[in-house]
Copies of this chain bind each other. A is one copy, B any other.
Amino acid sequence: MNNFIFQNPTRLIFGRGMISELPKQIPADCRLMITFGGGSVKKNGVYDQITKALEGRDYVEFWGIEPNPRIETLRKAIELGKKEGVNFLLAVGGGSVVDGTKLISAGLLYDGDPWELVLSGRNTNTVPLGAVLTLPATGSEMNSGAVISREETKEKFAFYSNYPRFSILDPTVTYSLPPFQIACGIADTFVHVMEQYMTTPGQSRIMDRWSEGILQTLIDIAPRIQENKEDYDLMCDFMLSATMGLNGFVALGVTQDWATHMIGHELTAIHGLTHGATLAIVHPGLMRTMIEQKEAKLAQYGQRVWGINEGSTRQRALKAIDRTEEFFRSLGLATRLEEANIPDETIYEIERRFNHRNVKFGEMQNITGTVAREILINCK
């Protein structure tokens, strides 16, 4: 196991009706801005619960943080926040709203163009923020990461700032989510775990078991949620799995990969594909391309998560990849580039971008532009 330093200070407030805890979590004397996405919270009752909980408080609202939040939008939020003297933020929405609000929290204390913050990769000089999560997927509600896009250049980069001071997760607010969003959230959570698990075997028995435990949970609940997405306990397990999948709890002392995400981000940047949908396409192809490197861990995964006990290590590894792709398909997601209407030119554009930035992704830092092309060809 590798040495590590771990601390996750987020207060997780979980369960039915817990939005009513809001007033206790936000200092009465702060200057609050609440950030929202496109307006679904006005339909599903979340907005009403929040305004009721904060009755008598004064706050600014900022609407319109889009999926894959754009710097162009966030600049406007930062401008408004500065004008209003905002010193506390509440993000209400899915991972994109939380991600975007993390950049706002740093941008409020930064004099330059906030895109510079994104390019710097990290800034922890921030105003405090809390979140009310409406879509389980990204884990942003309990980590310090964010992914910010720039529309004019079709770029999308990771940015690290502060952990939410608190996050409120009420599983009942997910009942109204469209099935496609739920499918993407499950795929996103699944691949988050795989990025932290599908690496060199034998690093940590307990981290392996915990990652496998989240994967088993997702496989167990996915078909049941398709039958009834208003089953409270199912949505509890979905929501908690998504948070636990990317809050550092399964990453202690082990190496990580994240190459699937790096390639997926490019598909989103170029074609606007939903994040989880890109992962369902890239991940099986990545595992097939990297089979030499990942064979032993894939066989362990196949045995423990999918019950694959027959055949050589290679056969079991390949079968485990097939089962993973079938799982994504069972969610109703495309797993091939052509199904998502991604042309071959995109493959070469991503190769060009990776080569231009001279990046090397993945656990072994061996996923160059050339390897990314090979992976994407395996996703056809």
Distance in angstroms between the alpha carbons of A3 and B216 in the assembled complex: 23
| CB of A18, distance to nearest CB on chain B (Å) | 6
Assess whether B3 is in contact with A18, with CB atoms less than 8 Å apart: yes
Assess whether B205 is in contact with A220, with CB atoms less than 8 Å apart: yes
List residues of chain B with CB within 8 A of the CB of A221: 205
The contact of A249 among B14, B203, B232, B249, by CB within 8 Å, is B249
The contact of A253 among B10, B207, B210, B236, by CB within 8 Å, is B236
A212 proximal to B (CB < 8 A) = yes
A304, closest chain B residue (CB): B216
Assess whether A214 is in contact with B209, with CB atoms less than 8 Å apart: yes
List residues of chain B with CB within 8 A of the CB of A253: 14-15, 236, 240
A215, closest chain B residue (CB): B209
Distance in angstroms between the alpha carbons of A15 and B237 in the assembled complex: 32
Distance in angstroms between the alpha carbons of A206 and B16 in the assembled complex: 18
| CB of A379, distance to nearest CB on chain B (Å) | 30
Encode contact with B along A224-237: 1 for CB under 8 Å, 0 otherwise.
00000000110011
In the complex, chain A residues 1-51 whose Cβ is within 8 Å of any chain B Cβ? 1-18, 21
> Which residue numbers of A lie inside 8 Å of B, CB to CB?
1-18, 21, 202-207, 209-210, 212-214, 216-217, 220-221, 232-233, 236-237, 240-241, 244, 249, 252-253
Given contacts A12-B252, A205-B216, 16 further A-B contacts (CB under 8 A): A1-B232, A3-B18, A4-B12, A4-B15, A5-B14, A5-B21, A6-B12, A8-B8, A14-B253, A203-B233, A204-B236, A205-B221, A209-B214, A209-B216, A210-B210, A240-B253
